[in-house]
């Protein structure tokens, strides 16, 4: 996902831009650049290396003068990572510099029209049409030029724009891609997310789709899509920059793995009032809830895997059909949704394009939308009817851990809250869950205290060519997440399989020494999973079985076991996933991979 920063103030723009881009590195990128206005012309610095190269090229920003500028980290969509394709892009007359996050879907048509008008292009990007359109429409009135340009664009954009004729004006425009204003002392800022702003100011304004902001060091003007002045509220960020720093860990991922007990505890507490679960003043009233006859869970990646756990938990507690589906599939299959459907959209970033599009699809069909999101004020949070925030704090590592864990907690709470209203679960079952939930943080801590055991096991996997994770029921849902964690940061091929499904084809891949991880947290299915372990073992697989403490003795010393603390059957995912987050981390460490910024990946995929 691309990252945008912008500065207008009394100090060095380059200093803010470089530090801001550094804070956005976690989003994933393959090139970066800044443009600063100095003496009516733009000073540009770009790289297809890391941000540290920009620091070096500009002597930490000291050799780029000026107090108006924009910066960008690019995650390539149109055109390979190259200096020509990296942002900022300039108009032919070099009056406009632009950075962009999103996709201009009609750029080919616009580009041809502009070429016919005599404009010359140097990149393969969709973005480059924007500065050219600004040049085309600019007759001295910058607002008119911006308005005319935005009207021509189809698709998604978050834009940072500066003009050589307006030495103090920073322009920001938003449609479907996130963009936030930072309201500072003698300066005003723009960024794709708050991590680039919070060390300068905690006062932010979240731009809505269709809004355009014109900032100077002392003023903020925001216009809505009709051109009327928008009256926006200033929000205050409730965490500080230390939360978005490594704090002594080698990687953000390990820091965030270790933060999970606290994040889970904070999330539990945020929905607990005098011992009762409360979801706040959500619009899903008891009356509406009682009419719900189907739940659709829609998400991508690990959020989808949290939803896969949620399916088992919610169906058990609510006795309502729960379908969990990939957002990219849901949005194009003409789903059967109506006003009696509750659609639960799960997203850590709240900016995943497929999940946002699926949300809008379901909303159009009359469904009540409940979002489970980590980033306050994000697009999905704002588009939903109700939002239940996870309290994970900023998650910087591309591979989610605390984001996933706190999503599980919110899904459990939703299930218990709804079951209480619907009367669909017996009192003992609900009491058992309410008694066990507060113990989850300390049980996660217990697993983390033995992380060196996982580091030892990781040695066995570091050179594997392919690893299989198998499980049944909630174990299968967790195996999906365990497999993704491993492959996305260690680049080792891995597959998650419903244990009962293996013999219907994939078992042909099992040969002597193939590592198979059998998740056996679901006690009542132990015997079934054991037979699958025997099947793969008979074909030479090296089996690692993951079981709750003293739950099961396999009586087979060839099977290595990994334990996690026993807990309520509906809550096992919260504990069983932890060893596999650690396993992925240590295997990737062993293989020398870039753990926080895995190749080709972005923290949030804001394009289709």
Q: Is 388 in the site for ligand AGP (CB under 6 A)?
A: no
**Phi, psi for 581 (deg, rounded to 5):** -65, -45
CB of 13 to ligand AGP, least distance (A): 30
Most distant CA pair in the chain: distance in Å?
82
CB of 595 to ligand AGP, least distance (A): 12
CB of 118 to ligand AGP, least distance (A): 42
* From 127, 348, 406, 606, residue interacting with ligand AGP (rule: CB under 6 A): 348
Binding mask 545-584 for ligand AGP (x = CB under 6 A): ----------------------------------------
Distance CA 410, CA 389 (A): 8
* From 25, 43, 436, 488, residue interacting with ligand AGP (rule: CB under 6 A): 488
Q: Is 328 in the site for ligand AGP (CB under 6 A)?
A: no
Cα distance between the two ends of the chain: 11
Query: What would the 3-class secondary structure string for 230-284 be?
Result: CCCCCEECCCCHHHHCCCCCCCHHHHHHHCHHHHHHHHHHHCEECCEECCCCCCC
Evaluate the omega torsion of the peptide bond into residue 275 and state whether it is cis, within 30 degrees of 0.
Answer: no
Sheet with strand 157-163: strands edge to edge: 89-90, 96-101, 157-163, 170-175, 212-216, 219-223
Distance CA 24, CA 196 (A): 6
* From 86, 195, 604, 606, residue interacting with ligand AGP (rule: CB under 6 A): 604
CB of 404 to ligand AGP, least distance (A): 7
CB of 399 to ligand AGP, least distance (A): 4
In the three-class reduction of DSSP (H, G, I as helix; E, B as strand; rest coil), residue 99 is classed as: strand
In the three-class reduction of DSSP (H, G, I as helix; E, B as strand; rest coil), residue 355 is classed as: helix
The stretch among 87-95, 343-351, 525-533, 578-586 that binds ligand AGP (CB under 6 A) is 343-351
Q: Is 2 in the site for ligand AGP (CB under 6 A)?
A: no
Q: In this structure, are residues 566 and 549 in contact, taking their beta carbons and an 8 Å threshold?
A: yes
**Of 174, 202, 265, 603, catalytic:** 603
By CB under 6 A, the count of residues binding ligand AGP is 15
Q: Which two tokens stand for residue 54?
A: 């920009």
* From 91, 195, 328, 347, residue interacting with ligand AGP (rule: CB under 6 A): 347
Q: Is 349 in the site for ligand AGP (CB under 6 A)?
A: yes
**Within 10 A of 465 (CB to CB), how many other CB atoms are there?**
9
Q: Which two tokens stand for residue 262?
A: 């606290």
Q: In terms of CB distance, is 47 or 302 closer to ligand AGP? A: 302
Q: In this structure, are residues 134 and 96 in contact, taking their beta carbons and an 8 Å threshold?
A: yes
**Of 2, 187, 522, 593, catalytic:** 2
In the three-class reduction of DSSP (H, G, I as helix; E, B as strand; rest coil), residue 58 is classed as: coil
* From 398, 492, 583, 607, residue interacting with ligand AGP (rule: CB under 6 A): 398
The stretch among 137-145, 199-207, 394-402, 581-589 that binds ligand AGP (CB under 6 A) is 394-402
In the three-class reduction of DSSP (H, G, I as helix; E, B as strand; rest coil), residue 114 is classed as: helix
Q: In terms of CB distance, is 303 or 383 closer to ligand AGP? A: 303
Is there a catalytic annotation at residue 546? no
Count of helices and strands (H, E) across the chain: 19, 26
The CB-based long-range contact list for 508-514 (8 Å cut-off, 24+ gap) reads 509/466, 509/468, 510/468, 510/536, 510/539, 510/540, 510/541, 511/539, 511/540, 512/539, 512/540, 513/540, 513/541, 513/542, 514/466, 514/468, 514/539, 514/540, 514/541, 514/542
The stretch among 84-92, 126-134, 229-237, 342-350 that binds ligand AGP (CB under 6 A) is 342-350
- Site residues (CB under 6 A) for ligand AGP, limited to 300-319: 300-303
**Within 10 A of 199 (CB to CB), how many other CB atoms are there?**
17
Q: Is 35 in the site for ligand AGP (CB under 6 A)?
A: no
Q: In terms of CB distance, is 252 or 554 closer to ligand AGP? A: 252
Q: Is 8 in the site for ligand AGP (CB under 6 A)?
A: no
Q: In terms of CB distance, is 571 or 605 closer to ligand AGP? A: 605
Q: Is 400 in the site for ligand AGP (CB under 6 A)?
A: yes
**Within 10 A of 397 (CB to CB), how many other CB atoms are there?**
24
Q: Is 253 in the site for ligand AGP (CB under 6 A)?
A: no
CB of 488 to ligand AGP, least distance (A): 6
Q: Is 343 in the site for ligand AGP (CB under 6 A)?
A: no
Q: Is 367 in the site for ligand AGP (CB under 6 A)?
A: no
Q: In this structure, are residues 154 and 106 in contact, taking their beta carbons and an 8 Å threshold?
A: yes
Q: In terms of CB distance, is 114 or 383 closer to ligand AGP? A: 383
* From 58, 352, 406, 490, residue interacting with ligand AGP (rule: CB under 6 A): 352
Q: In terms of CB distance, is 352 or 405 closer to ligand AGP? A: 352
* Residue at shortest CB range from ligand AGP: 301
Q: Is 212 in the site for ligand AGP (CB under 6 A)?
A: no
Distance CA 293, CA 194 (A): 38
Q: Is 31 in the site for ligand AGP (CB under 6 A)?
A: no
Sign of CA dihedral 48, 53, 58, 62: positive
CB of 580 to ligand AGP, least distance (A): 12
Q: Is 598 in the site for ligand AGP (CB under 6 A)?
A: no
Q: In this structure, are residues 447 and 565 in contact, taking their beta carbons and an 8 Å threshold?
A: yes
Q: Considering only CA atoms, which of 560, 517, 562, 561 is closest in space to residue 536?
A: 517
Q: Is 479 in the site for ligand AGP (CB under 6 A)?
A: no
Q: Is 355 in the site for ligand AGP (CB under 6 A)?
A: yes
- Site residues (CB under 6 A) for ligand AGP, limited to 282-301: 300-301
CB of 301 to ligand AGP, least distance (A): 2
Q: In this structure, are residues 469 and 496 in contact, taking their beta carbons and an 8 Å threshold?
A: yes
Distance CA 596, CA 251 (A): 6
CB of 243 to ligand AGP, least distance (A): 17
Q: In terms of CB distance, is 541 or 602 closer to ligand AGP? A: 602
Q: Is 378 in the site for ligand AGP (CB under 6 A)?
A: no
The stretch among 69-77, 195-203, 393-401, 430-438 that binds ligand AGP (CB under 6 A) is 393-401
Is there a catalytic annotation at residue 2? yes
- Residues with a catalytic annotation lie at 2, 603
Q: Which residues of the chain form contacts with ligand AGP (CB under 6 A)?
A: 300-303, 347-349, 352, 355, 398-400, 488, 604-605
């Amino acid at each position: 996902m691309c990252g945008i920063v912008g500065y207008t103030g009394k100090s060095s723009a380059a200093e803010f831009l470089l530090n801001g881009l550094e804070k956005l590195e976690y989003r994933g990128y393959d090139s970066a650049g800044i443009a600063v206005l100095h003496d009516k012309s733009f000073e540009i610095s770009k790289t297809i290396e890391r941000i540290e190269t920009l620091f070096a090229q500009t002597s930490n920003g000291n050799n780029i003068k000026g107090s108006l500028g924009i910066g960008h980290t690019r995650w390539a969509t149109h055109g390979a990572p190259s200096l020509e394709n990296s942002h900022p892009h300039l108009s032919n007359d070099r009056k406009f510099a632009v950075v962009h996050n999103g996709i201009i879907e009609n750029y080919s048509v616009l580009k041809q029209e502009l070429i016919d008008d005599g404009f010359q292009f140097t990149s393969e990007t969709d973005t480059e049409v924007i500065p050219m359109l600004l040049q085309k429409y600019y007759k001295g009135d910058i607002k008119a030029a911006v308005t005319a340009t935005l009207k021509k664009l189809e698709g998604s954009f978050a834009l940072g724009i500066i003009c050589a004729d307006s030495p103090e004006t920073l322009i920001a425009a938003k449609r479907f891609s996130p963009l936030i204003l930072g309201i500072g002392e003698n300066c005003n800022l723009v960024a794709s997310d708050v991590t680039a702003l919070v060390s300068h100011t905690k006062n932010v304004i979240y731009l809505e789709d269709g809004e355009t902001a014109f900032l100077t060091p002392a003023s903020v003007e925001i216009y809505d899509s009709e051109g009327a002045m928008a009256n926006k509220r200033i929000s205050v960020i409730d965490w500080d920059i230390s939360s978005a720093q490594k704090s002594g860990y080698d990687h953000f991922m390990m820091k965030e793995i270790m933060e999970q007990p606290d994040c889970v505890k904070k999330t539990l507490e945020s929905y607990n009032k005098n011992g009762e679960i409360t979801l706040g003043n959500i619009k899903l009233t008891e009356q509406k809830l009682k009419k719900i006859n189907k739940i659709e869970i829609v998400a991508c990646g690990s959020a989808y895997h949290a939803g896969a756990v949620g399916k088992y938990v919610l169906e058990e507690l609510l006795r309502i059909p729960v379908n969990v589906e990939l957002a990219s599939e849901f949005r194009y299959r003409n789903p059967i949704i109506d006003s009696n459907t509750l659609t639960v959209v799960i997203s850590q970033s709240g900016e995943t394009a497929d999940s946002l599009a699926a949300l809008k699809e379901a909303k159009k069909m009359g469904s009540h939308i409940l979002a489970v999101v980590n980033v306050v004020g994000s697009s999905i949070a704002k588009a939903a009817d109700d939002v239940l925030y996870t309290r994970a704090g900023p998650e910087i590592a591309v591979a989610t851990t605390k984001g996933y864990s706190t999503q599980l907690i919110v899904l459990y709470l939703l299930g218990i809250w709804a079951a209480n209203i619907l009367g669909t679960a017996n009192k003992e079952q609900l009491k058992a869950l309410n008694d066990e939930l507060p113990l989850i943080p300390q049980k996660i801590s217990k697993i983390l205290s033995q992380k060196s055991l996982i580091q030892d096991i990781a040695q066995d996997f570091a050179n594997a060519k392919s690893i299989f994770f198998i499980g049944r029921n909630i174990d299968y849902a967790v195996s999906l997440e365990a497999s993704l964690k491993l492959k996305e940061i260690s680049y080792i091929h891995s597959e998650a399989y419903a244990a009962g499904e293996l013999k219907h084809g994939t078992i042909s891949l099992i040969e002597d020494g193939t590592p198979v991880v059998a998740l056996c947290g679901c006690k009542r299915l132990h015997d079934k999973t054991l037979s699958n372990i025997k099947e793969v073992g008979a074909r030479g697989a090296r089996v690692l079985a993951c079981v709750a403490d003293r739950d099961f003795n396999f009586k087979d010393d060839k099977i290595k076991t990994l334990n996690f603390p026993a807990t309520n059957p509906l809550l096992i995912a919260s504990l069983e996933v932890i060893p596999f987050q650690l396993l992925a981390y240590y295997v990737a460490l062993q293989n020398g991979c870039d753990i926080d910024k895995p190749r080709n990946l972005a923290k949030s995929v804001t394009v289709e």
